Structure 1
């Protein structure tokens, strides 16, 4: 999971104007938001890869996915894709944008698995086990 977000974050710096096009016009400074979200994805991707920071980073990824959802909706509903891809691939790109919307829930669930809410901490008894005295 960590590598996925690091690579996605780096992509924000390689094509910032393409990412900025997905941001709804009501949001200020779209390119700055692209860089900010790219930095967040890189840092959170690294953080989720480290045991010490895994839990807060996973919560951060889930929050980031919720925060960027309006951009995904804007991309799927608007005509932004017409400027980003050739006419030949516009239909496929639009379908992918619509599929991305419910898939966002899958990505959030994946991040929440890394929050460790179901993990047993060192020293905690397993389910049904009595704590040591």
Structure 2
């Protein structure tokens, strides 16, 4: 395993851990991503936060990096519809940054490199 791939995996783990922690500490910020048809947004936000923390741990540990990277790629694909919903529901002059139209629409194309990053981490694992 190269030092560069270790750094990439650890950076991805840090991004996931940060996001997962934010989901648990500030769930209200993410509740707008959950479609009404799924029921309680808080439960989904907490669940996705725990999933991000689990993926972070799996990616950080070399022995579980391959499945962790694949799970992370799947997680990034799975949350994409919520990001689309938030973009569709966004307002141009929203007071909170996470609901601003430019932010919500701008983050949609970022899912592609995130999925690719997770995939690369899984492919370069020991």
TM-score where L is the length of structure 2 = 0.81
Contact 2:66 2:125 in 1 (8 A): no
Residue 55 of structure 2: aligned partner: 44
Highest Rg: 1 or 2?
1
TM-score by length of 1: 0.77
Q: Hey, what does 1:107 align to over in structure 2?
A: 114
Instruction: Label 1:43 to 1:96 Cα distance change in 2 as closer, same or farther (>3 A).
Output: same
Specify which structure has the bigger relative contact order, considering alpha-carbon pairs within 8 angstroms and separated by 6 or more residues. Answer: 2
CA distance in 1, matches of 2:125, 2:87: 40
Question: Counterparts of 1:27 and 1:33 in 2: how far apart (Å)?
Answer: 8
Listed as ranges, the gaps of 5+ residues in structure 2 are 1-11
Deviation at 1:23, TM superposition (A): 1.2
Aligned length: 115
Moved over 3 A (4+): none
1:120 CA drift (Å): 8.8
Question: CA offsets, 1:74-107, max 9 Å, x none?
Answer: 110114x57xx418x689x211211111110110
- C-alpha separation between the residues in 1 aligned to 2:40 and 2:117? 30
For the pair 1:86 / 2:83, whether they are aligned, the reply is no
State the 1:14 CA deviation. Answer: 1.2
RMSD: 2.4
Is contact 1:3-1:46 (8 Å) kept?
Answer: no
Instruction: Structure 1: state its 5+ residue gaps.
Output: 122-133
Higher helix share: 2
**Secondary structure, aligned partner of 1:86:** coil
